[in-house]
Structure 1
C-alpha cells in the first residue's frame, strides 16, 4: 500500500507523506547534548508526538532514551506519592521490556521490574533515578509526552521539584542527561491551574528549564519537499511551488491544517492540485468538525474575555497589544489560534480566522436583518457561475440605507463592516468563502477576499475620512489587485456626512476598474 497524508495519531515516514523535520531534530538534539531540561509546549495537533518519536530514534544512537506518556495512566496514579512513583516505575519498565532501551543492562531491567510492586515515595524515586543513570551504559534521557494530563495534581509538581533538585546537584549525583516534557501548556501554567489565589502562583519548580524556541510550523519550502515526494508517486503535473504557497497562505504552516488540506485534495477534491482544488479543500475543511475547532470553541466558552478580545479584533479592527500576562491572550496563544506579530495580537491563520467569523456570525444570524435580506436577495447575484459583485454592492447599499438610515454614527462605525459580512454570508454560503486580509485590517480599512467557484473578488470596506484619504484607499486597492492578478476591485465607503451621495459608481485608475459603493 502506498503512502497517504495522515492527520490522526503518529505520522511515520515510511507510511505517510510528511514534511522533513531533520533540521528541527538537529536543533533539539543540540539542547539534549548540552544537558538542557526543557518543555515543548505547542498547540494541539502541532506535531509534538511525531517529533518526539523521531527524536527518540535519533537520540537512541547515543543515549538511553525513556520515552513515556501520561496519557491514559488513570486518576489513581495521582492519588498519592506512592501511587505516582509506582506508576512511573511501571512506565519505565514498559519501555525497557517492549522497546528495548539501548544501553540498559539486563540486570538493571530486572531491578526496574521489581520496582513496579514496591511502595516508594518521591525521595526514594530520586535514588532510583540515580541508580538508573549510574548503571546505564549511556547517558539517560527522559521524554514525557502529554504532561497536561497531570496538570491538576499536586504530586506532579513534587515530581518536577525532585527533577529540579537532582539537576542542581548533577555534578555530585547521577541524574538524567536531559528531560523533555511535552504538552499544550508550559509548566508555569500547569502550576497556575492547581494553585489557589492565596498561594504563590509563579514559583514554578521548572525554573531550571531552558527556553524552547525551535519553530515547529511548516514553511513553504517544507511543504514543497512533501509535495515533491507525492508528485514522484502520482505524477499529477501540479505546480509544486504554487501549491505550497497557496496552502501556506491559508494555514500559515500550522501542521495539522497543512496535512488536512493535502489529504482532502488527495482524497475528495476534483480537479486536484490546482488553485481551485485548494479553495475547494479549504471550503470543506471549514465545514467539518475536528478536535482543533472543537477546542477553539471550548476555549471561547471557558474564557469570555478571550471571546470579547477576538470579536474586537475581527469586527472592529482593534489593535490589541500583546501582553503574555493577560490570561485571555496567553490562553489564545498557547491554544494556537492567536500569535504575537510585532507586539500586536493577530489571528494565527486564515482558516482559524474564517472559522471564528463563521462562529460569531452564526450566533446572531437568526436575529440579523442584514442576513435575512441577503438570504432573500441571493438568487439575483449569480450568473453563469460567476458572482455579480457589482449587483451585491448595489443591493447592499439599498438595504443598508433602508434599515439603518436613522442610526447614530458611532453605532454604524462600529458595526457597518459586520453588517456587510452578514449580508454576504447567505449569498456565498455552501459555495464560497471569504477571509479578511490581516495586513489591511485596522479601525479604518478592511479588505475582504471572497473565494467563489474558483474566482476571487477583493472588496475593501472603509470608513470615509475625507477625499484625500479616499484617494489613498483607491491607490492601495489597485496595488492590492496587482498582487492578486486582478483587474477589477470593489469598495464600500461608510460615509457619515449628511450631504453624501449614496450609490454605486465605477472608477478607472492605473488600468484597473474600481466599483465603489457609498452608504
Structure 2
C-alpha cells in the first residue's frame, strides 16, 4: 500500500511514514515498569498521540500489560456539568478500548457511580477485571477545565495508593502543558503548586523534536518506497527551517512531493523545500493558523511582543517563560538566548499578528511600479508616506500588540507591495533594539530598519544608522531606509510629524531617514 507524509491526526503505520515510537520516548518503558504516574507534555502536533498510541499497542502486543490510549477531549464540551463530562469521557473510553484491545482485554461495563467519582470507579473496576496489569495513557488532559479537570486529577490521586490491583498499574497524563499549568488553562488561580491534585507524578517528560538524522530517516522512507531522492542539502535545509518540529517536517515534505514534484524522478533540492515553505506560510494551514489564538494569550504576549520589538523581556515570571516554551513557540538557544522556535514560526508570527491590519488596509494603487514591472524607489517612498499620513493613525488601533503596532502597519503595507511578486524577510530578536526588513521583488531588493523612539530615551538615529549599515552590508546594498516611529507622549498627529531626511552611514551608504 502506498505511504504518505501525515499532517492530520495520529499516524497510521499502514499508510504513513513514521519513526519508531519507542525511540522517541525511551524513558517510558522504565516508568511503566516502576508503576509510575507521569506527565508527557509537548507542543501541538509534535507526535504525542502517535507515539503513545504506538507504545500502548507495543506494550499490549508483548503480552505483559493491558495498555490503552484514551482521550479526555470529549469532556471539554461539558465544562459546567461534571457528571455529563464524565459520562461522555467514559462512553468514548469504551469505544476506544474495544477498538484498540483484543476482546479478552476489553473493559467491563462501567459501574454506576455518583458524579465526581465515575472516572475513578471505572478505572478501579477495569484494573480489578483485567487479566493483566492495566496501563492507561490519558491524552488531551488539558482540554478539561475548572471543576472537571480538578475532579479528574483528584480521582486519580485518590486511586493511586490502590494500584496495581485496584487501580491502573501505570498512568500518563498527556497534553500541551506540564501539570503546573493545568489550573492556568482552567482560568483558576495563577498555577498549580506542589500541593496540586496531581502531586503523585514521578516525572514530567517532553517529546523531543526530530534531529537531522530523524528527518533523513523519515524522508528516506519515501525514497525507499518511491525512488524519489531528497538531496542531503535538502534534508539539512528542511531541518534548519523546522528545527525538527514533526508537523512542519511532514508538511514540508508533503507539499514538496505531492504538489511541487509529483514526478518521482525529480530530485528534491533546497530550492523546492523553500518553495514548500512559502506555500505553507501563504496557506496558513490549521497548525499555523492556530498560532493566532495562542498569540493573544497574555502570558504569550508578554514574551512574544518584546521579542518582535527587540526589547528585553523585563520581569517575566519563570513559569510564564516555561509555559511559552512548552507551547513550542520559543526555545532557548545556547548562544542566542531566547529565540522563536524555528524559522517558519519566525516568519509566521509577525504575519499572523499583522493579518487584521492587512485586512483593514484600504485599496492601494501600485504607483511604485514602472512599465517594466520594477519598483521605483522614490515612488515607493512617496506611496508609503502618503499611506502612513492618511491611514497610519486609524490602522494603529487594529494591532493586537500595542508596542509593535507601527511595525505591523508597516508590514501590512509592505505585504501589499510584495503581493503576487515578492517576499518580505524579517530579522528580530530580544535585546536587538530594532526590527530589520528586506523587501525582495524580482531583481529589486530594499533594506529597511525599524526603530522606535520611546519616552526618556535619546534619539535612536545614531544607533539606527550603525545597525542599518551592518544590515545593508549583509544584503550587499548601498542604500536603505531607516524608519523611526516616534512613540513619545505628547507628539503631534502622524500627518504633522511625518517627514524624511537624508543621512550617510559610517561606511558611506546613503540612507533615507523616515521620522513617522
TM-score, normalised by the number of residues in structure 1: 0.73
Q: Which runs of 5+ in 1 are unaligned?
A: 482-486
> Considering only aligned residues, what root-mean-square deviation do their CA atoms show, in Å?
4.8
Q: What secondary structure is seen at the aligned counterpart in 1 of 2:17?
A: coil
Residue 444 in 1 paired to residue 437 in 2? no
Alignment partner for residue 64 of structure 1, among 39, 63, 66?
A: 66
Q: Which residue of 2 aligns with 1:148?
A: 142
Q: Which residue of 1 aligns with 2:491?
A: none
Alignment partner for residue 427 of structure 1, among 389, 393, 417?
A: 417
Q: Deviation at 1:11?
A: 1.0
Residue 228 in 1 paired to residue 220 in 2? yes
Distance 1:259 1:219, change over 3 A: same
- Tell me how far apart the structure 2 counterparts of residues 378 and 19 of structure 1 sit (CA, whole Å): 50
Q: How does 1:150-169 map to 2 (within 5 A)?
A: 150-154=144-148, 156-168=149-161
Q: Deviation at 1:341?
A: 5.3
Query: Are the counterparts in 1 of residues 5 and 17 from structure 2 also a CA contact under 8 Å?
Result: yes
Residue 274 in 1 paired to residue 269 in 2? yes
Query: Are the counterparts in 2 of residues 283 and 433 from structure 1 also a CA contact under 8 Å?
Result: no
Distance 1:472 1:42, change over 3 A: closer
Alpha-carbon displacement from aligned partner over 1:285-314 (angstroms, at most 9, x marks no partner): 22325432443333455x367557644432
Q: What secondary structure is seen at the aligned counterpart in 1 of 2:204?
A: coil
Q: How does 1:296-311 map to 2 (within 5 A)?
A: 296-300=291-295, 303=297, 306-307=300-301, 310-311=304-305
- Tell me how far apart the structure 1 counterparts of residues 14 and 444 of structure 2 sit (CA, whole Å): 38
Q: How does 1:251-262 map to 2 (within 5 A)?
A: 251-262=242-253
Distance 1:338 1:231, change over 3 A: same
- Tell me how far apart the structure 1 counterparts of residues 185 and 224 of structure 2 sit (CA, whole Å): 48
Q: Which residue of 1 aligns with 2:183?
A: 191
- Tell me how far apart the structure 1 counterparts of residues 27 and 316 of structure 2 sit (CA, whole Å): 28
Query: Are the counterparts in 1 of residues 426 and 438 from structure 2 also a CA contact under 8 Å?
Result: yes
- Tell me how far apart the structure 2 counterparts of residues 20 and 26 of structure 1 sit (CA, whole Å): 11
Distance 1:435 1:348, change over 3 A: farther
Alpha-carbon displacement from aligned partner over 1:63-106 (angstroms, at most 9, x marks no partner): 22132223446867984569837963x566546644335xx9x5
Q: Which residue of 1 aligns with 2:367?
A: 377
Query: Are the counterparts in 2 of residues 449 and 456 from structure 1 also a CA contact under 8 Å?
Result: no
Alignment partner for residue 178 of structure 1, among 154, 157, 170?
A: 170
Query: Are the counterparts in 1 of residues 73 and 143 from structure 2 also a CA contact under 8 Å?
Result: yes
TM-score, normalised by the number of residues in structure 2: 0.73
Q: Which residue of 2 aligns with 1:347?
A: 340
Q: Which runs of 5+ in 2 are unaligned?
A: 397-402, 452-458, 486-498
Q: What secondary structure is seen at the aligned counterpart in 1 of 2:482?
A: strand
Alpha-carbon displacement from aligned partner over 1:420-446 (angstroms, at most 9, x marks no partner): 53442222113333232345x645343
Q: Which residue of 2 aligns with 1:484?
A: none
Q: Which moved more, 1:18-27 or 1:137-146?
A: 18-27
Q: How does 1:128-139 map to 2 (within 5 A)?
A: 129=123, 132-133=126-127, 136-139=130-133
Query: Are the counterparts in 2 of residues 459 and 491 from structure 1 also a CA contact under 8 Å?
Result: yes
Count of matched residue positions in the alignment of Structure 1 and Structure 2: 479
Q: Deviation at 1:179?
A: 0.8
Query: Are the counterparts in 2 of residues 160 and 205 from structure 1 also a CA contact under 8 Å?
Result: yes
Query: Are the counterparts in 2 of residues 64 and 141 from structure 1 also a CA contact under 8 Å?
Result: yes
